[in-house]
Amino acid sequence: MQTYFECQESIHYRQGHHVPTIIETIANKYISTNPPSGFTFRTIHPDTCKQMEDGRSDLNLNTSFPESPLGSYGYAYAMVYSNQETVTEMSLSCYGPARIFVNGSLFYRSTMADDVNVNHHKLLNVPLKRGWNAFFITLIKTSSGFGCRFGSSNSKWFPIHFLSPFQERTGMGGWVYALGNVPHDYTDGTLPAVDSLEAETGLDWLPRLQESTSNSSLSTLFGAHSGKLAYAWSSVYLDEDSDNLLHLQGTSDSTIQLWVDHELVVTSEHGAFDVTLTLSAGKHDIVIESTCSEKSWNYHVFAEMNSTSLDFRLPVDIKGTRSPWLYLGPLDEAIEKPASIRTLYRFEPQENVYWKSAEGYSVRPYLENELFAKWNYPLGVTLYGLLQAGRELGRADILSYVTRHIDACTQLYAYAKWDRDTYGYPAINHQLVELNMLDDCGSFGSAMLEAYATNKNPTYLTIAHTIADYIMNTQERKENGAFYRQRDGEYQTNTLWADDLYMSTPFLTRYYKHTGDIRCVDEAARQFLLFKPYLYIPELQAMSHVYDFKYETATYVPWGRGNGWVIFSLSELLAVLPQDHSKRPELIQFFQQLAEGYLKLQGVNGLWHQVLTDPTSYEETSCTAMFIYAFSRGIRYGWLDEITPYKKAVTFGWEALTKVAIDATGNIYGVCRGSGYSFTPAYYKEELGWILNDTHGIGIVMLSGIEFLKLQTRHSYK
């Protein structure tokens, strides 16, 4: 039996056959490793270089320096933070000659082929150290252009956020760029340090820093907009040893209202105001609503405690601003409950209004962690597993964790679309916003709908309608209606993947459950029967991973997880498909055929292999878990006629998982990383290795344990 650790370190050695404790240990491990940290909020200058549709930064200096002569030098500078030492693939396209310095050393010099074709993508494997990494690009203006396009080669899956260098811009997002005062080409060792003072470089870096306005200069921020409204948000802190008296006074040129926490304490048409409040120690939020008069909507407000001036403070953590105030506006109408604006998860989509700092910089959320507040398909199945674990274990805290993750992804959906339109590419929820393939929506959308069954969050259902419309009306299909991947210009052009039955049909079944739209479950049933002629291998009773229409052939490689997705998803469909549905008998027969084939392919140690027909390929955890899940459901729901061999396979497989693939602290081993496809088994066996605690497998393992537990406790075997 393959081993990832000593047998004494396995969860089976510590917990034996106590399935609930095993599931709980896995859930606890995942949540403790990935706390609910959410987004990082940073300021960004409105004149920053925009991103392109592919997520790369468009560093086109001709836009900022159109009058610069040929031969001019330009510079672009930014930082990237990496949590670990790694190598990341980036893409460069040149308007003219470019040199890229990484952490002070020349990394790449553009070639003639690069310089003459801006549509050419030069892929660069860039080494990143743990911590901050400096990217300094020198550029030369030619008649072809001045600048480059640079960033992640796959922003959807591996976004890279470039942040501003220099002490004065600490925490801000975006590149800075400058025109050289002399035709000086930087060399190794002469680059300005990222933490140096900008003024010391001798260059005029754009976009220029702006001075912070006073706490009330709305005219400077928004201009004159008679009758419009704006909101300001800050906070004060009262010490434990104070007398708890907060004294607020000031003047206004226009109508203002002022709230402390949820209480309206000042209404002033014009002139002075003065109020004293008795408050508890700690943080208190200040919200001011101002209505613009014909000339101005400025005001001034001061705070005192014990006759000593009290500083206002940022009410939330914003990187890249020195001001304690945030501003929202201008708006046509007043917000019904102004105190409700005290959140960075509020966006006014009808008026395209989001928070600004007092310098006039936009506040922008960035997703800077790997596994929380992120929307992608592996996390969809992970959250589904956690959700079912929370229910099975009666753990409200696990359920809360799942909903907090989904809430973070969905609350700012409207903002994320605006973010894409404003900056060229979204800084959060990339896949949901791009929505151009089934990977982007079906898996996470399915988990979202499963959570909706509990919390009835209306935002979930609104987004589900968008996803359903995409799958039913926009997703690419072959002439017979089968989902496939058109993906022109990519390696996967014109292919059909077994994975996409999981990326589509579980969502459609849940959407049917919540809306009653029978067309969706009809479509799910149809897709299984459309995929079968392309991928089914009758002699194995298993599925090829991919059908490639470029060659009009299947790959004939029965990849473990690809097959797992199929029978897992078919079990999800059969569990809700109406008993009198016309396709049900044919689908149950398909389930039985697959189950019989997979049963024969179970490895001698109880796990299934990465390539199902190759016992020398590694024993793979995620497909093993999905076969356990599907077999258990087939027994419980009565889809399998002879249950004894499947009962043995499930018990054998689950015990093997707990001995080989799960250690005592809940780490999951042997989960194949995200895949491409190939016509040769060697790719899956030798190149497609496993990753510790990969999210393609954590949720599936918990789900298989839950189904195994249900089988043990809620089924009488024939």
pLDDT by residue (tens digit) across 127-178?
Answer: 999 999 999 999 999 999 999 999 999 999 899 999 999 999 999 999 999 9
pLDDT by residue (tens digit) across 185-220?
Answer: 565 567 888 889 998 888 999 999 987 765 556 777
For residue 330, cis peptide bond before it (omega within 30 degrees of 0): yes
Dist. CA 602–CA 566, nearest whole Å: 16
pLDDT by residue (tens digit) across 27-59?
Answer: 999 999 999 988 999 999 999 999 999 999 999
DSSP 422: H
pLDDT reported for residue 717: 39
| Range picked from 65-69, 279-283, 522-526 for highest mean pLDDT | 522-526
How would you class 365 by CB atoms within 10 Å of its CB: exposed for 0-12, middle for 13-18, buried for 19 or more?
buried
Dist. CA 15–CA 9, nearest whole Å: 11
pLDDT reported for residue 339: 84
pTM of the model: 0.93
| CA geometry: angle 131, 132, 133, nearest 5 deg | 120
Indicate the pLDDT class of residue 3, thresholds 50, 70 and 90: confident
What is the 3 state secondary structure string of 637-690?
A: HCCCCCCHHHHHHHHHHHHHHHHHHEECCCCECCEECCCCCCCCHHHHHHHCCE
Indicate the pLDDT class of residue 116, thresholds 50, 70 and 90: confident
DSSP 68: P
pLDDT by residue (tens digit) across 473-491?
Answer: 999 999 999 999 999 988 9
Residue type, 111: T
Helix locations, 74-127, DSSP H: 112-115
What percent of the chain has pLDDT above 70? Answer: 96
pLDDT reported for residue 716: 44
Summary mean pLDDT of the chain: 93
**SS3 state at 334:** coil
pLDDT reported for residue 690: 96
Q: Which two tokens stand for residue 631?
A: 């077999």
Indicate the pLDDT class of residue 263, thresholds 50, 70 and 90: very high
Residue type, 169: R
pLDDT by residue (tens digit) across 402-437?
Answer: 999 999 999 999 999 999 999 999 999 989 999 999
The sign one gets for the Cα dihedral 541, 542, 544, 549 is positive
Q: How many CB atoms lie within 10 A of CB 518?
A: 11
pLDDT reported for residue 346: 85
What is the 3 state secondary structure string of 462-504?
A: HHHHHHHHHHHHCCCECCCCCECECCCCCCCCCEEECHHHHCC
Contact between 368 and 268 (Cβ < 8 Å): no
pLDDT by residue (tens digit) across 504-520?
Answer: 999 999 999 999 999 99
Contact between 355 and 326 (Cβ < 8 Å): yes
Indicate the pLDDT class of residue 718, thresholds 50, 70 and 90: very low
CB neighbour list of residue 190: distance below 8 Å, 6 or more residues apart: none
Indicate the pLDDT class of residue 306, thresholds 50, 70 and 90: confident
Q: Which two tokens stand for residue 299?
A: 């005001």
pLDDT reported for residue 182: 55
pLDDT reported for residue 437: 95
Distances (CA, A) of 640 to 443, 587, 588, 596, 704: 26, 12, 8, 9, 17
Dist. CA 212–CA 221, nearest whole Å: 10
DSSP string, 216-249: T-HHHHH---TT-EEEEEEEEEE-TTS--EEEEE
pLDDT by residue (tens digit) across 270-294?
Answer: 889 999 999 999 999 999 999 887 7
Query: In Å, how far from its chain's centre is CA 237?
Result: 34
DSSP 379: H
Q: Domains of the chain (ranges plus CATH)?
A: 7-33+371-713 (1.50.10.10), 49-201 (2.60.120), 218-362 (2.60.120.260)
Q: Which two tokens stand for residue 483?
A: 């989902």
